[in-house]
């Protein structure tokens, strides 16, 4: 008996020949299958399809031109509806393709009716998760669409309308999601509110209170409610913001709360690591969402928002979804306490 050995790091003629033979075999099989009917019982055609799948090359995507940058100026009253925007934001309704990365998981997503929350809900459903979404009652038309999209993927969907600005209510979506989904191992605290005004002397105290309670307190209350029911391997993902790192004079309260959320993300991750729970955040830049059309101040300018980024356009919610998937899935087991930026190059 002859023992074959291969030197690590060196060139091996036998390995090269084997690779060449495999490539030739694939080409022959593909050529043969082209002359045969591609039926389910045709082994040669099936093998050729496998070869083609293994060699598929994804097209490169130019980030500058993937989505338009010519949204017309428009305005809505708060909280705004995605269905009434022109053009409607792309949340992956027809483009996001899942691959089972979250199969068997159960997620609660706040602000899941539109924009980034909607994109995350669609992505999670197509990755195999059952989902509960929270949203304001005024956003029911958008929420109904999301619930339908989730169910069309064969996943459980739970609609939980309500305002997150009280601790009492924040306990409710967690309890209901756990009960109706049979458990809860992902929280995406995404609901947010921004008030756009560049002069603190004109900034109403009640608006500042609304910003802080929606963006910061709600995440605190939701975390307190969800951590006791989470098992090791669970994940919490917060929607932070580029304004945490590049605060805007027009978004005084919003920038302050998002900066606080970055620190909250890191500190909470350290607390719950001993429970086997990971905590991370995503910091989007300017994204085409209802938030861009309900600001009551004149500084809201769609053209300026497109010009803010080096790629020359606002982002779309579907471009954020892969980050939320990655931070929730188990293969990211060493990622915790981080905030991932997605802002078209601004930072």
What stretch of H or E contains 161?
A: strand 157-161
Let me know whether 107 and 201 are in one domain. yes
Here the tokens at position 211 are 């910003």
Instruction: Look at residue 71 and tell me if it is in a domain.
Output: no
Let me know whether 22 and 103 are in one domain. no
Instruction: Look at residue 257 and tell me if it is in a domain.
Output: yes
Let me know whether 91 and 31 are in one domain. no
Phi and psi, residue 273, nearest 5°: -60, -35
Let me know whether 24 and 100 are in one domain. no
CA distances from 174 to 35, 144, 321 (A): 57, 20, 22
Let me know whether 31 and 89 are in one domain. no
Q: Could you give the residue numbers annotated as active site?
A: 254
Please calculate the CA angle 316-317-323 and round it to the nearest 5 degrees.
115
pLDDT tens digits, 252-287: 999 999 999 999 999 999 999 999 999 999 999 888
- State in Å, rounded, how far the first CA of the chain is from the last one: 62
Let me know whether 269 and 127 are in one domain. yes
Total domains present in the chain: 2
**For residue 27, what are the domain limits?**
15-35+43-48
The confidence score (pLDDT) of residue 302 equals 66
Q: Biggest alpha carbon distance in the chain?
A: 89
Let me know whether 150 and 243 are in one domain. yes
Let me know whether 126 and 31 are in one domain. no
Share of the chain above pLDDT 90, in %: 58
* pTM of the predicted protein model: 0.80
Residues 6 or more apart whose CB falls under 8 angstroms from that of 268 comprise 223, 236, 279
The helix/strand/coil state of 283 is strand
pLDDT tens digits, 49-104: 554 455 577 788 888 878 877 777 777 777 777 776 777 888 889 999 999 999 99
Paired strand residues for 130: 106
The confidence score (pLDDT) of residue 69 equals 77
Let me know whether 118 and 21 are in one domain. no
Phi and psi, residue 157, nearest 5°: -135, 130
Rg, the chain, Cα only: 24
Residue count (the chain): 347
Q: Which of 345 and 29 is assigned the larger pLDDT?
A: 345
Distance CA 102, CA 277 (A): 16
Paired strand residues for 109: 133, 188
Here the tokens at position 129 are 């998760």
């Amino acid at each position: 008996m002859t023992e074959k050995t291969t030197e690590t790091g060196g060139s091996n003629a036998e390995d090269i020949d084997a690779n060449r033979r495999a490539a030739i075999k694939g080409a022959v099989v593909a050529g043969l299958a082209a002359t045969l009917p591609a039926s389910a019982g045709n082994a040669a055609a099936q093998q050729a399809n496998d070869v083609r799948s293994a060699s598929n090359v994804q097209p490169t995507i130019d980030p500058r031109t993937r989505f338009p940058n010519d949204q017309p100026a428009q305005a809505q009253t708060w909280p705004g509806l995605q269905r009434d925007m022109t053009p409607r934001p792309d949340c992956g309704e027809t483009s996001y393709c899942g691959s089972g990365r979250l199969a068997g998981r159960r997620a609660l997503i706040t602000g899941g009716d539109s924009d980034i929350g909607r994109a995350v809900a669609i992505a999670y459903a197509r990755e195999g998760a059952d989902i509960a979404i929270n949203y304001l009652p005024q956003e029911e038309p958008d929420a109904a669409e999301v619930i339908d999209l989730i169910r069309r993927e064969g996943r459980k969907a739970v609609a939980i309308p309500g305002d997150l600005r009280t601790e009492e209510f924040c306990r409710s979506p967690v309890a209901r999601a756990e009960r109706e989904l049979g458990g809860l191992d992902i929280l995406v605290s995404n609901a947010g509110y921004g008030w756009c005004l560049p002069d603190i002397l004109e900034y109403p105290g009640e608006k500042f209170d609304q910003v802080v309670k929606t963006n910061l307190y709600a995440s605190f209350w939701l975390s307190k409610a969800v951590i006791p029911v989470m098992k090791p391997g669970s994940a919490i993902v917060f929607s932070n913001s580029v304004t945490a790192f590049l605060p805007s004079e027009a978004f005084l309260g919003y920038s302050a709360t998002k900066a606080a959320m970055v620190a909250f993300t890191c500190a909470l991750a350290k607390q719950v690591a001993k429970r086997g729970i990971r905590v991370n955040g995503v910091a989007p830049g300017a994204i085409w969402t209802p938030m861009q059309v309900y600001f009551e101040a004149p500084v809201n300018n769609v053209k300026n928002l497109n010009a803010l980024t080096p790629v020359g356009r606002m982002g779309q919610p579907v471009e954020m979804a892969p980050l939320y998937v990655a931070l929730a899935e188990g293969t990211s087991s060493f990622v915790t306490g981080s905030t991932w930026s997605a802002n078209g190059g601004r930072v």
